[in-house]
Structure 1
């Protein structure tokens, strides 16, 4: 059995404002609250034990979160560009309320179809799914039978969970993945996936 422990990065200054922060805009680091979350998560992962590798998105907030965990676990950090957040095009930096006001038709189309991009040539859900699925397959092959910490963002983490559940694309918008939350998916040798945990934030209490 191969296990992927999915960790969303800790908070940035944009997170409490619920502003969209993808790979097409700014690349904020962790806020003071986010750094505290990263340390608490690292402690929880150390208590859990058994993690043999740490792989992260290249974006600052993920690398900072991953480095905190890896230092506590005595592991190095590997960066995989395809774990980056979706590119939200013209929606970067806006709240969804602002997007709904400025780009109502584009937002409706994005929610309705995984092939519809955000305004301004952003990345479709389908495009994100392809690259994230490729990362998953690569990790399963490279770390067969091991447990890997994957540090990423809302859309990639939700995508891995959706694929594990074999759920339709619109289910992506029906999951909560909070900052510094942990979710876990296991994979049998035949590829059968099981979601063992979703949006666990107990370590932040």
Structure 2
């Protein structure tokens, strides 16, 4: 196994019509909207910012959901890297809430919404997933990526819930911490996993929620 760290450059997808309208937007069983033109421009900006460190990027791993795959393909074309899919990094499924605003869900499914907000183990109606179910799926995906790309730098294109779940895991925060994080569209978060012996890899959070073209916020990618 390579001795160096495995670094994940986590990129949230660009905006869709659902993002702009603040609608619940889930995974593969959702209405699965594609990127808007604004979203494509956001992702191109991220790809251009990553270009100076392209020699260190091994591959691009994408959630199979449409908006993430479209984002990954844009970045892959800019960086000249292959895109592979990892279903573990798909967004939470929101069931009957998908495509609705928070206010609409509150009106139509008020009791269910209240229960969901009060427990990590409650899933939205229909084919929804709980936060705990998503955590299990995301961490299984993480194990596969760390095994397949050990010692390399990988761009992972995913969604709000999986990325915040990975951050909480890395900093050893309770899953409730996801409620205290804000993650912008087409933002960059960087995690590194250093090889360990008895207790698995030692992980660090190196960058969180950085958005081009604010270079002061992004910092120097050469330091990752």
TM-score bucket of the superposed structures, by smaller chain = over 0.9
Q: Aligned equivalents of 2:123 and 2:170: distance in 1?
A: 23
Instruction: For 1:16-165, list aligned pairs within 5 A.
Output: 16-23=20-27, 24-49=29-54, 50-165=56-171
CA contact (8 A) 1:37 1:204 kept: no
- How far does residue 19 in structure 1 lie from its aligned partner after superposition? 0.6
- How far does residue 102 in structure 1 lie from its aligned partner after superposition? 2.6
Q: What TM-score do the two structures reach when normalised by structure 1? A: 0.94
Instruction: For 1:152-191, list aligned pairs within 5 A.
Output: 152-190=158-196, 191=201
Q: Aligned equivalents of 1:98 and 1:170: distance in 2?
A: 24
Q: Aligned equivalents of 1:14 and 1:65: distance in 2?
A: 15
Structure 1 segments unaligned to the other structure (5+ residues): none
- How far does residue 111 in structure 1 lie from its aligned partner after superposition? 2.3
Superimposed CA distance per residue, residues 27-81 of structure 1 (whole angstroms, 9 cap, x where no aligned partner): 1111010111111111011123321110001111111110111112111110122
Structure 2 segments unaligned to the other structure (5+ residues): 216-224
Q: Aligned equivalents of 2:115 and 2:207: distance in 1?
A: 31
Q: What TM-score do the two structures reach when normalised by structure 2? A: 0.87
Q: Aligned equivalents of 1:168 and 1:95: distance in 2?
A: 27
Q: Aligned equivalents of 1:194 and 1:101: distance in 2?
A: 41
CA contact (8 A) 1:9 1:180 kept: yes
- How far does residue 204 in structure 1 lie from its aligned partner after superposition? 6.8
Return closer, same or farther for 1:121/1:30 CA change in 2, 3 Å cut-off: closer
Superimposed CA distance per residue, residues 124-145 of structure 1 (whole angstroms, 9 cap, x where no aligned partner): 1111111110111111111111
Q: Aligned equivalents of 1:174 and 1:95: distance in 2?
A: 20
CA contact (8 A) 1:12 1:61 kept: yes
Q: Aligned equivalents of 2:207 and 2:137: distance in 1?
A: 23
- The two structures, once aligned, show a CA RMSD in angstroms of 1.5
Aligned to 1:15: 19
CA contact (8 A) 1:41 1:204 kept: no
Asked if 1:192 corresponds to 2:202, the answer is: yes
Q: Aligned equivalents of 1:121 and 1:21: distance in 2?
A: 13
Asked if 1:6 corresponds to 2:16, the answer is: no
**Secondary structure of 1:185's aligned partner:** strand
Larger Rg: 2
Q: Aligned equivalents of 1:159 and 1:147: distance in 2?
A: 20
**Secondary structure of 2:18's aligned partner:** coil
